[in-house]
Structure 1
Amino acid sequence: MSKTVYVIGHKNPDTDSVVAAAAYAALKRAQGQPQVKAARAGAVNPQTEYIFQRFGVPLPEFIPDLIPKAEYYIDELPPVIREHTPLWEALVLLEQSPRQVMPIVDAIGAYKGLFYYNAFAKNILTKINPHRKAVIPTSIGHLIDTIKAQPLVPTDCEAMFNGRIVVASLSAERFQDYIHAEPAHNKVVLVGDREEVMRIAIEAGVRALIITNGFIPSKDITKLAEAKGVAILISSYDTSSTSLLALYSTPVISVADASIKPIGPRDFMKTAKLAIAASPARAVPIVDDGGKVVGLLTEGDLIREPNIELILVDHHEFSQAVDGIQNYHIQEVIDHHRIGTFSTPYPITFINRVVGSTSTIITSMYRESRTPLDRAIASILLCGILSDTLVFKSATTTDTDREMADYLASITDLTIEELGRDIMGSASLAARLPIDQLLRMDRKEYEVQGKKLTVSQIELTNSQELLARQEEVLQGLAHIRTEMGAYLAALMATDITKFESILYIDADREFYAYLSYPMQQPGIYILKDVLSRKKQLMPALTEMVQAALG
């Protein structure tokens, strides 16, 4: 089974991150890799939602975390056995199964128990115990299928009953006494060529008569059986072999282990490991919300690679990545930010270019590979470039960004200036969001001398709307700082009409003495001509934190 490869951006994604994931996944699929899917690690902001809706592109799949779950280790749908399958047939299937453990399901595929050799050995003993009269659930149809018998006088083949297997080894006189000693309606009598014994059994009203060694009885016997409603089956095997096979006609569910409880696809692998350790089969089934089997985990699955791999776009540091990323193989990184402490134990493709947007890099990769661009994908790529460069006003903007934007505009027949106004206008809706949601948009985490910093950024066309909520903003930042145990929590609100940003900040008390930006009021600072968090704010903020920490 081929692995799924997710192209995914950073937590609290901005427009460029989500666009890059969608566009690069589309490029990979166009190049013959259908297993590549776009994903996002958080809710989208109003600007991103507007862009994807406007151009009719589905949003990437939301993956809140990648902490290992059972579904990431499901190789393929396991072979299953229907609960009424004869035991003999089930044993053949089990022998052919590579794992030698199989889920048992009902008619609609819902899990009923596990079938494995230890469970079979334990439960079959209760049916062949010589100190007890063996009673097995079976049916005429199961007996026919298991013994490969020829039905001579068929009756209801599907009806299940609790059958007693009786070998007619006594003399006719003694057998007469034995068969009438207790009700005979559930007895299955095995006999050779003795028609006198056959007649006694039929007149006693047994459920079925199995004649061994291929002997065909007289017409008188068959007519009597028809009149009494007794099934006659002809077995080509001898009596000893037939009696053994008759025991194996019982449905497999009767010897299954129903004590092993299933887990769900979204259950953490920690839960799965405990379940496997507690399972006598050293295996545990995985079922969906409807109880249907979708997978099977065994001890061997715990040491193999998960069935997903990753391509990171618009970030590479694990502190900014979806939780649990360290558990997976990373195929590629495509980014335009500073290179941090990222490393892998194996070689990967790492593309990092000095441009203002990851969407610029993805566009150039389409051109370099001569892959045709779908108009909708080209449209969102143009939006990604314009969003991340603040319509070329950001200090991070390069000539390459402008060149790629012109190329995309020519494909899409969109006007850069008009589109830029539209998407920046949609971004300003962020100021009306609930504070908790607003502060988690495009939030990135950093570390300076062992101290955590968290800095969010939003773009506005009117900074006054957010200033009216300044107390809410500062209280929200204080809550985030406490929640994360961070040294500093900040929001950079960039006004793209004034070419300035307002910095809302909550930090350790000692830090404020080193904060060199003009203060509008406590916790709020004016950043003239500062539009880029990456190139303008973070280098300066890092120096200030280092100075405060000594």
Structure 2
Amino acid sequence: MSPVFVIGHRNPDTDSICSAICYADLKRKLTGEEYIACRAGHVNAETQFVLEHFGVEPPRYIASFEPRLSDVQYREVAGIDSEMSLRRAWDYMNENDIQTLAVVDEDRHLNGLLTLSDIARFYMEDQDANALAEAKTSYRNLVDVLDGTLVNGELEQPFEQGRVVVAAANPDVLEDYIAPNDMVILGNRYESQLCAIEMNAGCIIIGLGAKVSRTIRKLASENGVSIIATPLDTYTCAKVISQAVPVRHVMRRKGLITFEPEENVEDVKRTVSKKRIRYYPLLDEQGRYIGMFSQRNLLDLERPNVILVDHNERDQAAEGIRSTNIVEIIDHHRIDSVETSGPIYFRNQPLGCTATIITQMYHEKNIEIEPKIAGLLCSAILSDTLMFRSPTCTPLDRMAAEELAKIAGLNIREYASEMFRSSSRLRDRSMDELFHMDFKYFQVQDRKIAISQITSVSEDELSGIRDKMLEYMESCLKTSGLSMQFAMLTNIIEEKTELLYVGKGAQELVRMAFKKECGEHSVVLPGVVSRKKQMVTPLLGAMEEEAGL
């Protein structure tokens, strides 16, 4: 069974990361199958502190679920050498049930492509008697396709001059047909063999399994004539000899369409849909051949199974979420716009933290919570509820955190203070990093806004970044595609937020939402510490009121 990816939202906070890790652990213990904890963004300082405290590696980073060619089940068919005969290339195609072969050099760099159609076209078209010489066909290939033996000559030497002549006439007539350097196909008649050597043929092919006399071998050697002995009759020799041509003579070199593993599957589909080509070579970053994929491989691509934790909004989900098969959602936020292809297990409870829900599920399934998992779950609850100060905190959150703290051996007050301090040192970070450390998008009709939250236990830290943050928000608003931007500077200890805002109509919107006189770009909101319950609801309500909804 393919693995299931358990992942939180973009710009993940401690709840998003810890819930993904712990829910993947629970699912593995329940099913015995593979569940992989993932993240859709970088780990912030607070979450890094938590993971290091409990000795847990950060989850796998997935920038996008948009399928890449590396996700496609391509054929790992080895490339062939350009000197391989068409006969052997044909056999290789049949053995691997593939109609296109990559022709590569010794370093696996692509030299050309050979298709079944190329072989058929060459074989069916009228080839003149000079075809073998034009292709500089090696005697090794000739001996191979004729199932013969090289009695005289060099295997690696190419046949470069002359025509192919079938010596069907009497010896006294052959003199009119054989020219110097020709390749002569004949039978066991001594006179014909002698005539071909006397006419300075380049090679004679003696068929019917006839023995080559010592005299003919001696004369051929003296006159530089190669001899191939074969058990085939004259007709069969004439029929198969063109199969000795090396693939380089037939392969396509120009206009080759190649792809790399990291290319987006949808982009590739658009490209190949306009072509009448069945197979395409896959090359690595150094241009080395990896394998071959077909248009059918693109259509048969399996969608990854995904479980969303701590979010259910498309805008908050990892890139390419539409390309996945969502099988579960565990969340504590409002229900929004994620769509699924069928009914799924969706658990949404009005609690302060997703980790509280997952703690309940451990108990419901009678799965013991080990200390490390308990520590992660407890950390998530303390973070999301701001150590029980947030109005989103419920008695169930507090009860779960206290129980988990005992299992993990934590003193809640001391540990939470240390955890919150780890995310401080705001002045050491760029405004871009701080703004995007914990922010979410929200939309009402065609108006889209972003709300960032920056928390600290120090009022000096928050006031120290205020002006720089406003300057940053103003500078990036025009290119953000947003109507307005908001930043909550939240003091956890004093339980208050200074709300910064930029954008046309932002001041009036905040005044309408909080029924409070506001400055041009900021307002202090005592008691406001929760974005979900105390910020999003009034702001979106005011936006809906303005829109007449």
8 Å contact from structure 2 (residues 351, 394) kept in 1: yes
Alpha-carbon spacing, 1:82–1:493, altered in 2? closer, same or farther (3 Å): same
> Could you say which residue in structure 2 is the equivalent of 1:64?
63
> Could you say which residue in structure 2 is the equivalent of 1:248?
243
8 Å contact from structure 2 (residues 447, 482) kept in 1: yes
> Could you say which residue in structure 1 is the equivalent of 2:541?
543
In the alignment, structure 1 residue 443 sits paired with structure 2 residue 442: no
2-structure distance, mates of 1:318, 1:392: 29
Instruction: Give the superposition deviation at 1:436.
Output: 1.7
> Could you say which residue in structure 2 is the equivalent of 1:266?
262
Instruction: Give the superposition deviation at 1:27.
Output: 4.4
Instruction: Give the superposition deviation at 1:241.
Output: 2.0
Alpha-carbon spacing, 1:297–1:152, altered in 2? closer, same or farther (3 Å): closer
TM-score (norm. length: structure 1): 0.85
2-structure distance, mates of 1:413, 1:231: 88
Instruction: Give the superposition deviation at 1:455.
Output: 0.8
Structure 1, 353-362 or 318-327: larger mean CA deviation: 353-362
In the alignment, structure 1 residue 336 sits paired with structure 2 residue 332: yes
2:20 alignment partner AA: A
8 Å contact from structure 1 (residues 382, 405) kept in 2: yes
8 Å contact from structure 1 (residues 360, 401) kept in 2: yes
2:16 alignment partner AA: S
Match of 2:213 among 194, 218, 221: 218
1-structure distance, mates of 2:187, 2:370: 78
Alpha-carbon spacing, 1:88–1:380, altered in 2? closer, same or farther (3 Å): farther
Alpha-carbon spacing, 1:546–1:188, altered in 2? closer, same or farther (3 Å): same
Partner SS for 2:423: helix
Alpha-carbon spacing, 1:196–1:313, altered in 2? closer, same or farther (3 Å): farther
2-structure distance, mates of 1:441, 1:217: 86
> Could you say which residue in structure 1 is the equivalent of 2:521?
523
Alpha-carbon spacing, 1:441–1:101, altered in 2? closer, same or farther (3 Å): same
> Could you say which residue in structure 2 is the equivalent of 1:8?
7
Q: Deviation string for 1:501-541 (max 9, x for gaps)? A: 22111233242442426667432222222222112221122
Partner SS for 1:248: helix
1-structure distance, mates of 2:481, 2:440: 15
8 Å contact from structure 2 (residues 442, 448) kept in 1: yes
In the alignment, structure 1 residue 33 sits paired with structure 2 residue 28: no
1:276 alignment partner AA: V
Instruction: Give the superposition deviation at 1:498.
Output: 1.8
Alpha-carbon spacing, 1:261–1:305, altered in 2? closer, same or farther (3 Å): closer
Instruction: Give the superposition deviation at 1:318.
Output: 0.8
Unaligned runs of 5+ in 1: none
8 Å contact from structure 1 (residues 439, 491) kept in 2: yes
> Could you say which residue in structure 1 is the equivalent of 2:492?
496
In the alignment, structure 1 residue 327 sits paired with structure 2 residue 326: no
Instruction: Give the superposition deviation at 1:276.
Output: 1.2
Alpha-carbon spacing, 1:37–1:229, altered in 2? closer, same or farther (3 Å): farther
Structure 1, 498-507 or 377-386: larger mean CA deviation: 377-386
Alpha-carbon spacing, 1:378–1:197, altered in 2? closer, same or farther (3 Å): farther
> Could you say which residue in structure 2 is the equivalent of 1:51?
50
1:327 alignment partner AA: S
> Could you say which residue in structure 1 is the equivalent of 2:151?
153
In the alignment, structure 1 residue 90 sits paired with structure 2 residue 89: yes
Q: Deviation string for 1:193-217 (max 9, x for gaps)? A: 1344445656788665433222232
In the alignment, structure 1 residue 380 sits paired with structure 2 residue 400: no
Alpha-carbon spacing, 1:112–1:432, altered in 2? closer, same or farther (3 Å): same
TM-score (norm. length: structure 2): 0.85
Q: Percent identity?
A: 31
Structure 1 residues 171-320: aligned runs within 5 Å: 171-172=170-171, 175=174, 180-181=179-180, 184=181, 188-199=183-194, 209-222=204-217, 232-258=227-253, 259-294=255-290, 296-320=292-316
Instruction: Give the superposition deviation at 1:13.
Output: 1.8
2-structure distance, mates of 1:483, 1:153: 78
1:249 alignment partner AA: A
Q: Deviation string for 1:326-364 (max 9, x for gaps)? A: 233222212111112433231222122333222333444
Instruction: Give the superposition deviation at 1:288.
Output: 1.8
Structure 1, 220-229 or 252-261: larger mean CA deviation: 220-229
2-structure distance, mates of 1:171, 1:232: 20
In the alignment, structure 1 residue 417 sits paired with structure 2 residue 413: yes
2-structure distance, mates of 1:142, 1:230: 17
1-structure distance, mates of 2:488, 2:383: 15
1-structure distance, mates of 2:400, 2:159: 76
8 Å contact from structure 1 (residues 165, 246) kept in 2: no
Structure 1, 493-502 or 299-308: larger mean CA deviation: 299-308
Q: Deviation string for 1:164-203 (max 9, x for gaps)? A: 662341554565676553xx3xx65433213444456567
1-structure distance, mates of 2:222, 2:240: 28
Alpha-carbon spacing, 1:274–1:326, altered in 2? closer, same or farther (3 Å): closer
1-structure distance, mates of 2:96, 2:215: 47
Match of 2:460 among 461, 464, 480: 464
Over the aligned positions, Cα root-mean-square deviation in angstroms equals 3.5
Q: Deviation string for 1:423-456 (max 9, x for gaps)? A: 2111114553211222122221112244212111
Instruction: Give the superposition deviation at 1:320.
Output: 1.4
Q: Deviation string for 1:460-482 (max 9, x for gaps)? A: 12232232232321232234443
8 Å contact from structure 1 (residues 153, 230) kept in 2: no
2-structure distance, mates of 1:122, 1:278: 23
8 Å contact from structure 1 (residues 493, 503) kept in 2: yes
> Could you say which residue in structure 2 is the equivalent of 1:120?
119
1-structure distance, mates of 2:267, 2:337: 32
1:524 alignment partner AA: S
8 Å contact from structure 2 (residues 129, 163) kept in 1: no
Match of 1:359 among 331, 351, 355: 355
2:529 alignment partner AA: L
8 Å contact from structure 1 (residues 144, 233) kept in 2: yes
Structure 1, 517-526 or 332-341: larger mean CA deviation: 517-526
Alpha-carbon spacing, 1:448–1:233, altered in 2? closer, same or farther (3 Å): same
Structure 1 residues 380-419: aligned runs within 5 Å: 380-406=376-402, 408-419=404-415
2-structure distance, mates of 1:499, 1:462: 11
Match of 1:477 among 473, 494, 519: 473
8 Å contact from structure 2 (residues 257, 280) kept in 1: yes
Alpha-carbon spacing, 1:298–1:255, altered in 2? closer, same or farther (3 Å): same
2-structure distance, mates of 1:480, 1:466: 20
1-structure distance, mates of 2:144, 2:370: 58
1:487 alignment partner AA: S
1:504 alignment partner AA: L
Alpha-carbon spacing, 1:211–1:344, altered in 2? closer, same or farther (3 Å): same
Alpha-carbon spacing, 1:88–1:436, altered in 2? closer, same or farther (3 Å): same
Partner SS for 1:446: strand
Partner SS for 1:468: helix
2-structure distance, mates of 1:356, 1:56: 25
Unaligned runs of 5+ in 2: none
8 Å contact from structure 1 (residues 101, 281) kept in 2: no
Alpha-carbon spacing, 1:230–1:110, altered in 2? closer, same or farther (3 Å): same
Alpha-carbon spacing, 1:4–1:88, altered in 2? closer, same or farther (3 Å): farther
1-structure distance, mates of 2:32, 2:158: 53
Instruction: Give the superposition deviation at 1:262.
Output: 0.5
Structure 1, 247-256 or 296-305: larger mean CA deviation: 296-305
8 Å contact from structure 2 (residues 509, 539) kept in 1: no
2-structure distance, mates of 1:439, 1:294: 42
Instruction: Give the superposition deviation at 1:289.
Output: 0.6
